[in-house]
Structure 1
Amino acid sequence: MDTNKTTTTILQTKQHFEILDGLRGIAAWAVVIFHFMEWAYTDPSQNFIGHGFLAVDFFFCLSGFVIGYAYDDRIGKMGILEFFKSRVIRLHPLVIAGSVLGLLAFLFDPFGGHLELYSSGKIILTFLCSVLLIPFPVIEDRGFNLFSFNAPAWSLFWEYVANIFYAFVLYRIGRNFLVLLTLLAAAAICLVSYRSGNLLGGWSGPTFWDGSARISYSFLAGLLIYRSNWIIKNNLGFIGLAILLSLAFIMPSSKWNWLSEPLIVLVYFPLLIALGAGATLAPGLKKFCLFSGKISYPLYMTHYAVLWMFGNYYTSHKVGTTQLSLIIITALVLLTGAAYLVMVVYDIPVRKYLTDKRNKGLAKQKAGGVLN
């Protein structure tokens, strides 16, 4: 038996859809801009990207599609444990990096904060919970986020939950049952939006369960798109689809958010995934889409430390519109560069080390099986 060939079959990762990778990056940049702008404009109707938070629902839908594409035909061979290892290796190094950066920003924020209000024990416990993705919303200076030192980690918590549910349930069920679950999740999305007036929840203690509705529908919808082969051939290309995606984020806020936001999540984002999977990429945009896809997760998981410092600066200084624009544009460039640095210096080497170690372990297990 060729153990190396078997190990390669189990661990191989399929090529991503490049346009969808590019759209993931557009969504990540939208989240960063939204986080800056929500400090400046607490009234969503004045925020030109007031629906930027819906990028998270796009991430969830794309994740369901990609997980089905990457693992449906091989999770049975690789086993649930190896699936979990692959997901932890892919996701958790940046969970740790984001937590460390958030802790440093909390301890050394030059623009304010109330560090003296928190004991060393509470700070250490909050940091450990952030690293381990255990919700612990106790820091008032961090808006009682589920993960005080890295607010965006709330979506990673639900991503992990979805991955666990996929491994034990979703990959085994038929399409009809998947459709039923998706419809039930759609009803939950509508209920959450009607009750809250929007779909902004999930990141804090009081809105914790809103996150379960958001991940449930979008992840299931993405998985259903893949399994149903709902791939729409089209000539929109990356630019056309990037514009369509951006329109969802700059959609005006109104009293009808409780209706418009579910429509975006339930219909529009799944449609964009189906179109993105079927669109043709212009050769000249391939490098950008690949870069966009690679930088999206590091940017998403490392940018928020700076946001708290910006917030403290903004609330303690008079910042005009022109200055605000310059700050956000400069920060966007610098944060993208910093995310790239974190990716190259830390994330990729750590994942490579862990993957190589895992490969060796698998090879030894296969060799031992052959010898026995």
Structure 2
Amino acid sequence: MNNVTPGLLKTKEHFIILDGLRGVAALAIVAFHFLEVVFEFSKNFLGHGFLAVDFFFCLSGFVIAYAYDDRLEKMGIMEFFKSRIIRLHPLVIFGSVLGLLTFIFDPFSGTAAQYSIGKITLLFLTSALLIPFPTMEERYFNNFGLNAPAWSLFWEYVANIVYAFVLYKLARKYLMALACVAAIILVVVAYRTGSLLGGWAGENFWEGGARILYSFTAGLLIYRSKWIIKNKLGFVGLSILLLFAFFIPYSNYNWLTESLVVLFYFPLLVALGAGTAATQGLTKFCTFFGKISYPLYMTHYMAIWVFANYYNAYKPKGTELALVISSGVIALVALAYLTMILFDIPVRKYLSKKRMKAL
């Protein structure tokens, strides 16, 4: 502990374009979650928005390698874990609180009345502690019924633990071999299930492991291999390319299309994003998008449950439906911003200050 200095724990400079792309992916997944309530998978024009999670996983591997490969040994595994918990867990808890409140007070559903106080308490505690608990039948046995997106955070934590104990020390040739094995597993999962949509429910729990195993490893490999491609596509060009993946139409070969996107296209976009610069006018925009992406991802789903109950009760169509969804997305961005400035940043600053004092 005596060898750990505050300077060693300082956050490194960000890849501005990658921050911006993370924000684009977060917005895409929010829109996808609204639209999947209304449309069947095959008819949803943003039907592959869920692949944003795989992009997050790849980006996470790249960023973790960039941030910690050269200092994990000096800072130690426990300090690494503290850094990740301070960064990630406040919003895990906050998202659980929002999920609990909307579950109890949802004006379009009386489901909460059927649950005992003990069961509701258990749902909240497992959500706040990131313990999968797929018991809510009316919520399709989500691993985290109060805050569905937390399933990917569970796997993010697993990836961070494996990184600290195994992947951090792994030579590049073995990392390459692992990526190849992970790619085979991913394709097999996609072929057997017909899609890479799994990971969020009890019945497809392990599919989440297959998704992060490849993408996180690929992100590490991109950074360690210095596969950074210099280009002038900028934020706008790469945002269009990223959105293209989410708008790919449904087909009978979804398993293959999605596999190719995750195996090759997303790693390429990460390599391109790390190799391009933001124009002066877009730097602040990308930075804002990057900062708001995680709060948006972890706070939006409580509104999706409310919207789903509203939609099932009133069946809005046309202009009314478009207005509700677009207003919902805007409101959730505003909520994410308020969450960031009023809760996430102050809490992380407080925890970081306590940590620095201890050092």
* TM-score bracket for the superposition, by shorter chain length: over 0.9
Q: Which amino acid aligns with 1:98?
A: G
Q: Hey, what does 2:18 align to over in structure 1?
A: 20
Q: Hey, what does 1:218 align to over in structure 2?
A: 215
Among 301, 307, 321, the residue aligned to 1:324: 321
- SS of match in other structure, 2:147: coil
Among 151, 155, 163, the residue aligned to 2:152: 155
Larger radius of gyration: 1
- SS of match in other structure, 2:141: coil
Gaps of 5+ in 1: 363-372
Is residue 265 of structure 1 aligned with residue 262 of structure 2? yes
CA drift at 1:5:
10
CA distance in 2, matches of 1:331, 1:182: 39
- Indicate if the aligned counterparts of 2:103 and 2:146 stay in contact, CA closer than 8 A: yes
Is residue 107 of structure 1 aligned with residue 104 of structure 2? yes
Q: Hey, what does 2:355 align to over in structure 1?
A: 358
CA 1:192–1:113: 2 relative to 1, 3 Å: farther
CA drift at 1:46:
1.3
CA distance in 2, matches of 1:274, 1:225: 7
- Indicate if the aligned counterparts of 1:150 and 1:304 stay in contact, CA closer than 8 A: yes
Q: Hey, what does 1:279 align to over in structure 2?
A: 276
- SS of match in other structure, 1:144: coil
CA drift at 1:151:
0.1
- Indicate if the aligned counterparts of 1:113 and 1:141 stay in contact, CA closer than 8 A: no
Deviates more, 1:312-321 or 1:54-63: 312-321
User: What are the equivalent positions in structure 2 for 1:1-372 lying under 5 Å apart?
Assistant: 7-41=5-39, 43-362=40-359
CA drift at 1:13:
1.4
CA drift at 1:91:
0.1
Deviates more, 1:51-60 or 1:138-147: 138-147
CA distance in 1, matches of 2:15, 2:2: 27
For residues 129-171 of structure 1, give each alpha carbon's deviation from its aligned partner in whole angstroms, at most 9, with x where no partner exists. 0000000011122221101100000000000000000000011
CA drift at 1:330:
0.8
TM-score after normalising by structure 1? 0.95
- Indicate if the aligned counterparts of 2:54 and 2:262 stay in contact, CA closer than 8 A: yes
For residues 204-246 of structure 1, give each alpha carbon's deviation from its aligned partner in whole angstroms, at most 9, with x where no partner exists. 0000000000000000000000000000001111000000000
- SS of match in other structure, 1:206: helix
Q: Which amino acid aligns with 1:218?
A: S
Deviates more, 1:318-327 or 1:67-76: 318-327
CA 1:113–1:49: 2 relative to 1, 3 Å: farther
CA drift at 1:38:
0.2
Percent same amino acid among aligned pairs? 65
CA distance in 2, matches of 1:141, 1:7: 49
CA drift at 1:71:
0.2
- Indicate if the aligned counterparts of 2:16 and 2:277 stay in contact, CA closer than 8 A: no
Which consecutive segments of 4 or more residues in structure 1 shift more than 2 A?
3-6
- Indicate if the aligned counterparts of 2:3 and 2:74 stay in contact, CA closer than 8 A: no
CA distance in 1, matches of 2:327, 2:2: 48
CA distance in 1, matches of 2:80, 2:19: 21
CA drift at 1:4:
11
- Indicate if the aligned counterparts of 1:201 and 1:211 stay in contact, CA closer than 8 A: yes
CA drift at 1:325:
1.2
- Indicate if the aligned counterparts of 1:142 and 1:149 stay in contact, CA closer than 8 A: no
CA distance in 1, matches of 2:278, 2:46: 27
CA distance in 1, matches of 2:335, 2:254: 34
Q: Hey, what does 1:365 align to over in structure 2?
A: none
CA distance in 1, matches of 2:350, 2:101: 26
CA distance in 2, matches of 1:189, 1:262: 7
The size of the alignment, in residue pairs, is 359
CA drift at 1:49:
0.4
Q: Hey, what does 1:366 align to over in structure 2?
A: none
Q: Which amino acid aligns with 1:165?
A: V
CA distance in 2, matches of 1:12, 1:319: 49
Q: Which amino acid aligns with 1:20?
A: L
- Indicate if the aligned counterparts of 1:113 and 1:312 stay in contact, CA closer than 8 A: no
The two structures, once aligned, show a CA RMSD in angstroms of 1.2
CA distance in 1, matches of 2:110, 2:181: 43
CA drift at 1:6:
5.7
CA distance in 2, matches of 1:134, 1:165: 17
CA drift at 1:65:
0.1
TM-score after normalising by structure 2? 0.98
CA distance in 2, matches of 1:346, 1:172: 35
CA 1:4–1:338: 2 relative to 1, 3 Å: farther
- SS of match in other structure, 2:168: helix
CA distance in 2, matches of 1:189, 1:302: 28
CA drift at 1:119:
1.6
CA drift at 1:120:
1.4
